[in-house]
Amino acid sequence: MVRLDGIELEMIGVAHIVEKMVETRLWWFGHIKRRLVDFVVRIADQMEGSQITRGRPRKTIREAIWKDLEINELEKDMVFDRTLRCRLIHVTDPT
């Protein structure tokens, strides 16, 4: 049970924020991958940003999505079946 300032999240009917973030990232991944290749969002998704910074490189959204897919044992081809994708990634509120 997840607690927030002494209150269990299930009691107030709220899903865990990390689960909702994963759901949103995977929803966005599916939305982008279904777009045509010449859309601006697809072009930007395929670009590699390289910056010279000090320290550890920042985690990219692409790395986070691949990790989410791996943890949830999902295939990246699931994005083309919208009903399947929604059923697999949807996080229901505990109410």
**If the chain, 95 residues long, is cut into consecutive pieces of 10 residues, what is the mean pLDDT of each piece?**
58 75 85 79 68 75 85 81 78 66
Burial class (CB in 10 A: 0-12, 13-18, 19+), 92: exposed
Q: How many domains does the chain have?
A: 1
C-alpha span between 46 and 25 (Å, rounded): 16
For 48, the token pair is: 């590699």
Indicate whether 21 belongs to any domain.
yes
Indicate whether 40 belongs to any domain.
yes
pLDDT value, residue 39: 78
Indicate whether 84 belongs to any domain.
yes
Indicate whether 2 belongs to any domain.
no
pLDDT value, residue 71: 85
Indicate whether 94 belongs to any domain.
no
Indicate whether 95 belongs to any domain.
no
